[in-house]
C-alpha cells in the first residue's frame, strides 16, 4: 500500500464517520421558518402554553413530556397553502437530525400526519406535523421508547385494521 492509498483510506474512514451533530434547532426556529416559507402565522392563543404545560405536568399523556405546539388555521393563511405543501415545508425546514418515522396520508379526508424522531443518547424527541385542507399543527414532545411504539401502533391503523393472511 503506497502513501496515496493510505491517505485515501484515511479520507474514506473519515467520511464514513457519522457527522457531528449540528446545533439542534429549537421548536420556535422550525415553526418560524415554516411560517416564513409559506407566508402563514401560527394562532396566538394567550395562556395556551401555560395550559399545555399544566396538562403535561399533571397528566403526562402517553408518557410524553416537554410538549410544544403550534396551530395554524384558516385565519393563519393556511387555506391557500394546502395539506401537502404544509408537510413539504415542515420537512424542508427540519434539520437532518430529524428522521421521518411514519407518514400517513388520507386523500379521502385530506389529512396527513408525519412523525419525525430525533434520538440522542437516551432521549427521543418526536415532532408530529398534522395537516388538513385548512388546518395544520406542529407538535414536539419527548417520549420514551415504549410510548413511541404505542403511538406508532395507534396511528398506523395497520395494527388493528389491516391483516395479511398467509394461510
Among 41, 60, 79, 99, binds other proteins (CB under 8 A): 99
* Residues touching other proteins, count (CB under 8 A): 38
Residue 136 pairs in a beta bridge with 72, 131
**Is 55 an interacting residue with respect to other proteins (CB under 8 A)?**
no
| Interacting span for other proteins (CB under 8 A) from 33-41, 65-73, 104-112, 129-137 | 104-112
Q: Is 119 in the site for other proteins (CB under 8 A)?
A: yes
CB-wise, 55 or 149, nearer to other proteins? 149
105 binds other proteins (CB under 8 A): yes
Q: Is 19 in the site for other proteins (CB under 8 A)?
A: no
Separation of alpha carbons 98 and 96, rounded Å: 5
Instruction: Burial-class residue 22 by CB neighbours within 10 Å (0-12, 13-18, 19+).
Output: exposed
**Closest Cα to residue 145, out of 24, 64, 25?**
64
Q: Alpha-carbon distance 131 to 70, whole Å?
A: 12
From CA 167, how far away is CA 135, in angstroms rounded? Answer: 43
Can you give the binding site for other proteins, defined by CB under 8 A? Answer: 1, 5, 8-9, 12-13, 16, 99-108, 117, 119, 124, 144-146, 148-149, 152-153, 156-160, 162-167
Amino acid at each position: 500500500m503506497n502513501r496515496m492509498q493510505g491517505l485515501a483510506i484515511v479520507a474514506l474512514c473519515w467520511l464514513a464517520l457519522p457527522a457531528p451533530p449540528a446545533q439542534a434547532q429549537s421548536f420556535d426556529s422550525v415553526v418560524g421558518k415554516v411560517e416564513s416559507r409559506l407566508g402563514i402565522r401560527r394562532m396566538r392563543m394567550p395562556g395556551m402554553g401555560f395550559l399545555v404545560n399544566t396538562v403535561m405536568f399533571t397528566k403526562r399523556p402517553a408518557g410524553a413530556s416537554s410538549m410544544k405546539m403550534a396551530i395554524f388555521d384558516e385565519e393563519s393563511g393556511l387555506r391557500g397553502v394546502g395539506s401537502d405543501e404544509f408537510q413539504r415545508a415542515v420537512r424542508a425546514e427540519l434539520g437532518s437530525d430529524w428522521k421521518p418515522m411514519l407518514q400517513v396520508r388520507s386523500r379521502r379526508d385530506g389529512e396527513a400526519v408525519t412523525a419525525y424522531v430525533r434520538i440522542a443518547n437516551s432521549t427521543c424527541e418526536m415532532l408530529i406535523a398534522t395537516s388538513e385542507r385548512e388546518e395544520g399543527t406542529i407538535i414536539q414532545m419527548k417520549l420514551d421508547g415504549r410510548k413511541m411504539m404505542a403511538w406508532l401502533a395507534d396511528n398506523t391503523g395497520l395494527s388493528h385494521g389491516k391483516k395479511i393472511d398467509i394461510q
